[in-house]
Structure 1
């Protein structure tokens, strides 16, 4: 069986610069549209899930910060004999509010009072309605109550 000269030389016949350019041409418009549709679907499916994890992480961060405040408030109470008043607030953990005997702070490591993960100050009330003090964040909506990401994060 003989091979035709054309089949034996296909590599050289089709290896002209024009043929190479045609083979190296970019994606067609349809291929680009298919890729964009797939990326859009992925973003639509994955995006909300990622955002829900972010909301949960913020709530967890607020709970951890409240636990840190609770430890600092307990140390303050051991040194001073009671918790700061509502008027003294959480600032009493950073600097002696004046006229307080036994203050041995600062009781927090940071130079400023931390804000909650949504950028608001934590709320502190002493005496509290739920114990010696109430310490809470109003959540994402910055309003009392709420559910989901808007739920309050409390110390009680």
Structure 2
């Protein structure tokens, strides 16, 4: 019969604290980089959606002979030459949940302006809050 005591070895409190501190330091170095990538990808998503809108708007113009007065006309139309819908799904919001801005006629002699107000949902701004325009 084994009469010896079994020794269970675990981690000491100081060892656990050291591991927690190391994980915290790693997290503080990695997290800012990852969050900046998220904001950058949201701006790229908005630009890609604007490009899709531009294609739909150009196709609408080819069929009807003019650009629509409202983006909703890309989904539903009453004109005899309307051959839509020109967007496969409902009109999306920008990556921050705001409506895209569409103005016809556009500024500087352009046929229309199409843009996102950026992260803050307000005109103007800098960095992530900057408006994203069609080119």
Question: Which secondary structure does the structure 1 equivalent of 2:120 belong to?
Answer: coil
- Distance, in Å, in 2 between the alignment partners of 1:83 and 1:67 is 15
- The partner residue of 1:49 within 20, 28, 33 is 33
Residue 151 of structure 1, CA deviation: 1.1
User: Which segments of structure 1 move beyond 2 Å, counting only runs of 4 or more?
Assistant: 15-18
TM-score of the superposed pair, with normalisation by structure 1: 0.81
Q: Which has the higher helix share?
A: 1
How many residues align structurally?
133
Residue 101 of structure 1, CA deviation: 3.3
**Aligned: 1:128 with 2:112:** no
Aligned match of 1:144: 123
- Distance, in Å, in 1 between the alignment partners of 2:29 and 2:16 is 20
Q: Which has the larger radius of gyration?
A: 1
Aligned match of 2:71: 90
Question: Which secondary structure does the structure 2 equivalent of 1:135 belong to?
Answer: strand
Could you list the per-position Cα deviations for residues 42-75 of structure 1 after superposition, in whole angstroms to 9, with x for gaps in the alignment? Answer: 1111111100000000000000000000000000
- Distance, in Å, in 1 between the alignment partners of 2:25 and 2:104 is 51
Q: Residues 34 and 94 (structure 1 numbering): CA distance in 2 closer, same or farther, change over 3 Å?
A: same
Aligned match of 1:3: none
**Aligned: 1:115 with 2:93:** yes
Residue 134 of structure 1, CA deviation: 0.2
Listed as ranges, the gaps of 5+ residues in structure 2 are none
Residue 17 of structure 1, CA deviation: 4.7
Q: Residues 120 and 25 (structure 1 numbering): CA distance in 2 closer, same or farther, change over 3 Å?
A: same
Aligned match of 1:67: 51
> What RMSD over aligned residues (CA atoms) do the two structures have, in Å?
1.5
Residue 147 of structure 1, CA deviation: 1.4
TM-score of the superposed pair, with normalisation by structure 2: 0.93
